[in-house]
Structure 1
C-alpha cells in the first residue's frame, strides 16, 4: 500500500513539474491602480502566479512594474491539467520606513477570467488598491526583490 501511495505521489509531482507537456494552456490578464497615501505607487513590483497547493511550487507566469501613475497591466499563461488558480502578488514598501523586507499583498483572481489558450480574451480589473495601512492577508517577503 505504501508503494502505491508513493508511486501516486511521485506521479502527481512529475505531472505538476512537467504539466506543460501534457496540460492545456490557460491565460489570465489583470489590470489595476496602486496608490500609497493617495499618491500613485510608482515602480511597484507585481507578479502573477498559478497558485499551486501541496508540494508543487507556485508557477511563475509574469512580472511587471507599475508606471508613473501607479497603473499596471499584466498577462500570463500557464499549462496545467486542471484549471489554474491565478494569484497576483504585489511587493511594496508603502509607509514601511526602515522595516526589513517588503510587504506582500496577494490577490486571488476569479476563475471566470481564465481563458483557454495562450492569449487572454478578457481582463480582471482589480480597481484601485490603497497600499498604506494594513490589508487582509498581507505578509512580509524578503526573497522577491
Structure 2
C-alpha cells in the first residue's frame, strides 16, 4: 500500500513538472485616435511562445467608450511566461484590408505566480494615429 502511494506521488510530481507552474500577468491602458477615445478596439493578452509553438491567448477584449481596457490572464509554463499585448485597430487606415496590428511586450516584473495577476502593467495612453515599430496587418486575429 505504501509503495502504491509513493508511486502515485512520484507520478503526480512528474506530471506537475511537465505541465509547469501557473503564472499570471495583466495590462491596462487607454487608446486614442487623433485625440479621441478609440472605442471597440480589439486587445489581446498573449504568452509569447517563440519557435514552432503557437502563442497562448490569456485574455481578450475590446476598449470601452472611453478607449480604456484592462486584461489579465494566466498560463501554465515550465519557464517564465512572456506576456505581450496585441492591439488591432483601424485608426487612420482608410479602406485598407485587415487591421493594423502592433505588440507591446510586458516586463517580466509584471509576472506573478498563480491564476490572478497581482501587478497590472499600465501601458498608459496610446495614440494609435502614429506608426509603431514592428507594426503589421492582421486579418485573422
Query: Which category of TM-score, normalised to the shorter sequence, fits these structures?
Result: 0.7 to 0.9
Point out where structure 1 has 5 or more consecutive residues left out of the alignment: 1-17
Is 2:44 the counterpart of 1:59? no
Is 2:32 the counterpart of 1:35? yes
TM-score (norm 2): 0.86
Instruction: Kindly state the Cα deviation for residue 19 of structure 1 after the two structures are TM-superposed.
Output: 8.9
The alignment covers a number of residue pairs equal to 127
Instruction: Kindly state the Cα deviation for residue 21 of structure 1 after the two structures are TM-superposed.
Output: 6.2
Taking structure 1 as reference, are residues 20 and 107 closer, same or farther at Cα in structure 2, changes over 3 Å only? farther
Larger CA deviation: 39-48 vs 129-138: 129-138
Instruction: Kindly state the Cα deviation for residue 136 of structure 1 after the two structures are TM-superposed.
Output: 1.4
Decide whether the 8 Å contact of 1:20 with 1:80 is kept in 2: no
- Cα RMSD, aligned residues only: 1.6
TM-score (norm 1): 0.84
Instruction: Kindly state the Cα deviation for residue 133 of structure 1 after the two structures are TM-superposed.
Output: 2.1
Q: Which runs of 4+ in 1 moved over 6 A?
A: 18-21
Superposition pairs of residues 58-137 of structure 1, within 5 angstroms: 58-137=55-134
- Describe the superposition over 1:58-90 as per-residue Cα deviations: whole angstroms up to 9, x where unpaired: 011110100010000000100000000001000
Point out where structure 2 has 5 or more consecutive residues left out of the alignment: 1-14
- Structure showing greater radius of gyration is 2
